[in-house]
Structure 1
Amino acid sequence: MKLILKKGRSFRFKGYRFLPNKPVEVTNENDIYDLLQTGYVEEYRAKRIPLERALEEQDWKGEIIFFNPGGLGDNLLTFYVLDSLREERDLFDYRCIVAGFRNFVQNFTAYSEIEYKGVYLPHWEHYLKEKKENKDVKLLVHFKWGYFPEVIKDEFGFTKQIPIPETAKEAIQELKKGTVIETMASVFGIKKIRREIYLTWQEETWAKEMRKMDYIIFHIAENRHRRMKSWPLKRWERLAKMVEKLGKKIIQIGERGEPAIDQAINLQGIGARWLLVLLRGARALITTDSGIMHLAEGLGIPKIVLWGSTPAKSLGWHNDYTINISQKICNEACWNLGPYGYKCEKGRKKSCLDSITEEEVFEAIQELLKKERKRGNKIEVSIVIPFRNLFQMTMDCIESICNSERSVNFEIILVDNGSRRYPPSFRAAARKRGVIFIRNPENLGYPKAVNIGVKASKGKYILIMNNDVIVRERGFLKQLIDQERRRPGIIGLSGGIINKEGNFGGFTVSKFDYLEGWFLFMRREIYDKLGGLDEVFSPGYYEDTDFSFRARKAGIGLSIAKMDIEHLRSRTLEEEKENFHMEEVMKKNREIFLQRHADML
């Protein structure tokens, strides 16, 4: 009978040696019985097949199972792999089941935008037994960090394992061939691993307010278990004094009970969602921990990562907003450290990270802040585009904007108003254009979506635009800025007349009462002064007319720009009709408008 290792990294018994995923032939019946009684091995029944073939089967519905992949860093890589796999393979009908220790399950549900059901380890075997008996579930994908890349098909379904070589020496050799991210993408057949963690609109607003504090985050992560893998506390204290001279506040994060420095605001033990807000609002992050590094990467946060003997080339991120600083005295693998990383087998008394000086880190901070100032000061116009589904139309709109303007620095903020699901290429294509995403879990209506987007924006000017707009006018933002300077106020592309019954009249450039809301350009001060679009008109209709009338009452001028810009009318409204009784909404909003502005009709 063939037996295979059930738990642990290796097992020796009666002259037999078992390694992960390597079946061993045992012929003696007494030996078979004794081995099975240990609980470390089991009968080998698995059939190896490629994951790609398993995913191509069309006649099943299943669940993706995650079993205790490791610490926070491993968790986050797992999130990014799953999100990428779901997008590229269109696996949005899956339920995702997480099995692991309590804090692992909580991390999973806190950081990933996908909804998960947590199953704690004590209940794991019982859960799998139920699934085995459930004839409706034909496939379980069991994801576990292990040693070999095969897919295992057993009585429970498929098991996917990420290859991690057995010894530290082999691991370093393997990692030098390419990054872990590249390896995972190759094993799973994913073209590109996406790393994106979304905040709610409320969290984005809080992060924007936090940013006014002008702070840098120190993730010190030093305790007795991690002493040999930590940057010495004395260096953190010296760096803090140097950062204070820049006029920046310092916030320290980490686990409760870790050493704290006097110069920092101590927020150790902060909850998962508040940690996301805190990171989002930071000017920069300094850390030695891969978990926080991957978290910051998912949020797009500037970061400085201090590396020990683990190669930054293989495990780190490499982009314009990440600076990796590596120690210079050790080439051995950190896996050779004793239990919990507090003892070095080579007898070294100090952490190898001690070779990194605070001056090096301070120079890196200055470099990051300089890059951020350049990037931040360039934003003149914030373009806010609410959308719901209609992904190709939205992408066409974004492409037309980017292809039509080169002289003005702008940002595009997409406010997702409860889209059902994304096609694989949409988010990746939008991200390449530097688009900022804000996701609402449900359709909040057009006025509220616009207000949420404006609150998250940074530009001196605001442009509100529908996603069914195609821009063909070269330099259109420069023209709008020039027109606004000559004639301050709100600029639109079409307007109209409204009579005392609240009915719309013909459109004309020479005379109009209001500007249509599919394209509105103004200074931020005007938008703030008017209090944004009135959300009483949600989900839509008359909010733009009301905005124009309130502007006129406040003495703010309205004007129209002549540009080659196409509005694919009604497409957005057709999408909205799925959720709202629009005739009833129009009637209600017309009555509100007439009561509010009867004196101007």
Structure 2
Amino acid sequence: MGALTSIIILTRNGLKHTRACVESVQKYTSLPYEFIFVDNGSTDGTLAYLSTVRNATVLANSVNKGFAGGCNQGIRAAKGDYLLLLNNDVVVTENWLEGLRGWLDWDRTIGIVGPVSCNVAPIQRIQPDPYQTMDEMQQFARKWREQNIGMGFYPHRLIGFCMLFHKKLIETIGGLDERFYPGGYEDDDFCLRARLSGKILWAACDVYVHHHGHATFTANGLAWNEQGLYNAEIFRNKWNLEVSAVELEKTGYNPSLIVEKVKTFCPEKHFVPLGEEDGLA
């Protein structure tokens, strides 16, 4: 369990959330880790704050490269054997990384693992006991872990707010597809390619983290619904779905049907290069 985990966090303003996220990682992470921050043009003092964080690499973009582009940039800079994509509006909890890493190491067929949370899509969403403060949230997370230790399930997809995987997965399926800009469906696409490569997904019910939800989009005045439709159109075309983008946004889709139809990962068709200076540290 001594291997390094590279925690990749994208920022675009939202300093308050970023600070809370970083401080929670620092407080509740005992395994070796490094921060990789990718800033997509913040103007609220975020960069100045990130420069004070210990054990961190800060990559500053003058333009917004989007979630997929920023994550790929962070992956290229990562030194860890484990890579973790973490939204800057997440507050982690006690034993969070030990819990996620434990599942990934327990079953080598697991390609990606994620926690349960609030303010996420239903597949990973639970209804927590009401809490008003982050201290109360930590108390709930502790109790939740004790009640659900060793529990989890195989979801059809995982949400990109907190995803852990081995660096080797990137070598097999590539990075995130930067056509999904600035964000939305890149995590669906990434999970599909992992499944087609023979890996399974795992939702760790014994790891709870707090997620504020769409904080970056809200802070930067981005219209989530409009962007969802745009990326839904890209997604349906890429995977030859018969439903319209509007239907896809309203009713969703069954990832397993796509896996059954496509059957296997084809590197020539499905591998996504990491972009500029492709390669792993």
1:466 CA displacement: 0.2
**Which structure 2 residues correspond to residues 298-317 of structure 1 after superposition, within 5 A?**
none
Verify the 8 A CA contact 2:51 2:58 in the aligned structure 1.
no
- Which AA in structure 1 matches 2:98? K
Structure 1 unaligned segments of length 5 or more: list them.
1-377, 496-503
- Which AA in structure 1 matches 2:75? V
Alpha-carbon distance change, 505 to 581 in structure 1, aligned in 2, over 3 angstroms: closer
Higher relative contact order (CA 8 A, sep 6+): 2
1:425 CA displacement: 6.5
Deviation sequence 1:265-311 (CA, Å, 0-9, x none): xxxxxxxxxxxxxxxxxxxxxxxxxxxxxxxxxxxxxxxxxxxxxxx
**Which structure 2 residues correspond to residues 107-186 of structure 1 after superposition, within 5 A?**
none
Give the alignment partner of residue 517 of structure 1, picking from 155, 160, 169: 160
Equivalent-residue separation in structure 2 for 1:565 and 1:581 (angstroms)? 25
1:424 CA displacement: 9.3
Give the alignment partner of residue 487 of structure 1, picking from 102, 107, 110: 107
Equivalent-residue separation in structure 1 for 2:84 and 2:37 (angstroms)? 12
Verify the 8 A CA contact 2:100 2:114 in the aligned structure 1.
no
Aligned to 1:478: 98
Aligned to 1:403: 27
- Which AA in structure 2 matches 1:404? Y
> Aligned with 1:415: secondary structure?
strand
Q: TM-score, normalised by structure 1?
A: 0.33
Alpha-carbon distance change, 571 to 505 in structure 1, aligned in 2, over 3 angstroms: closer
Equivalent-residue separation in structure 2 for 1:384 and 1:530 (angstroms)? 18
Deviation sequence 1:145-176 (CA, Å, 0-9, x none): xxxxxxxxxxxxxxxxxxxxxxxxxxxxxxxx
Verify the 8 A CA contact 1:493 1:563 in the aligned structure 2.
yes
Deviation sequence 1:464-515 (CA, Å, 0-9, x none): 00000101123x22222221111231101249xxxxxxxx984266463210
Equivalent-residue separation in structure 2 for 1:471 and 1:494 (angstroms)? 11
> Aligned with 2:10: secondary structure?
strand
> Aligned with 2:25: secondary structure?
helix
1:553 CA displacement: 1.3
Equivalent-residue separation in structure 1 for 2:14 and 2:112 (angstroms)? 28
> Aligned with 1:436: secondary structure?
strand
Equivalent-residue separation in structure 1 for 2:23 and 2:167 (angstroms)? 24
Alpha-carbon distance change, 417 to 559 in structure 1, aligned in 2, over 3 angstroms: same
Equivalent-residue separation in structure 2 for 1:418 and 1:526 (angstroms)? 29
Percent of residue pairs identical: 31
Verify the 8 A CA contact 2:116 2:209 in the aligned structure 1.
no
> Aligned with 1:439: secondary structure?
strand
**Which structure 2 residues correspond to residues 238-249 of structure 1 after superposition, within 5 A?**
none
Deviation sequence 1:525-573 (CA, Å, 0-9, x none): 1023221110010111111011111111111110011213111112122
Give the alignment partner of residue 583 of structure 1, picking from 225, 228, 231: 225
> Aligned with 1:515: secondary structure?
coil
Equivalent-residue separation in structure 1 for 2:80 and 2:199 (angstroms)? 20
Verify the 8 A CA contact 2:160 2:187 in the aligned structure 1.
yes
Give the alignment partner of residue 7 of structure 2, picking from 357, 363, 383: 383
- What is the Cα-based RMSD across aligned positions, in Å? 2.4
Aligned to 1:370: none
Verify the 8 A CA contact 2:29 2:97 in the aligned structure 1.
yes
1:455 CA displacement: 0.3
- Which AA in structure 2 matches 1:535? E
1:507 and 2:123 correspond: yes
Aligned to 1:251: none
Give the alignment partner of residue 571 of structure 1, picking from 215, 238, 242: 215
Give the alignment partner of residue 85 of structure 2, picking from 458, 464, 475: 464
Equivalent-residue separation in structure 1 for 2:215 and 2:173 (angstroms)? 28
- Which AA in structure 1 matches 2:84? L
Structure 2 unaligned segments of length 5 or more: list them.
125-151, 242-256, 260-281
Verify the 8 A CA contact 2:10 2:38 in the aligned structure 1.
yes
Aligned to 1:600: 258
Alpha-carbon distance change, 505 to 400 in structure 1, aligned in 2, over 3 angstroms: closer
Q: TM-score, normalised by structure 2?
A: 0.68
Equivalent-residue separation in structure 2 for 1:423 and 1:559 (angstroms)? 33
Give the alignment partner of residue 69 of structure 2, picking from 442, 448, 461: 448
1:546 and 2:167 correspond: no
Deviation sequence 1:340-390 (CA, Å, 0-9, x none): xxxxxxxxxxxxxxxxxxxxxxxxxxxxxxxxxxxxxx7610000001111
More off after superposition, 505-514 vs 413-422:
505-514
1:423 CA displacement: 6.4
Equivalent-residue separation in structure 2 for 1:392 and 1:405 (angstroms)? 20
Alpha-carbon distance change, 494 to 553 in structure 1, aligned in 2, over 3 angstroms: farther
> Aligned with 1:536: secondary structure?
coil
Alpha-carbon distance change, 446 to 555 in structure 1, aligned in 2, over 3 angstroms: same
> Aligned with 2:43: secondary structure?
coil
Aligned to 1:392: 16
1:418 and 2:70 correspond: no
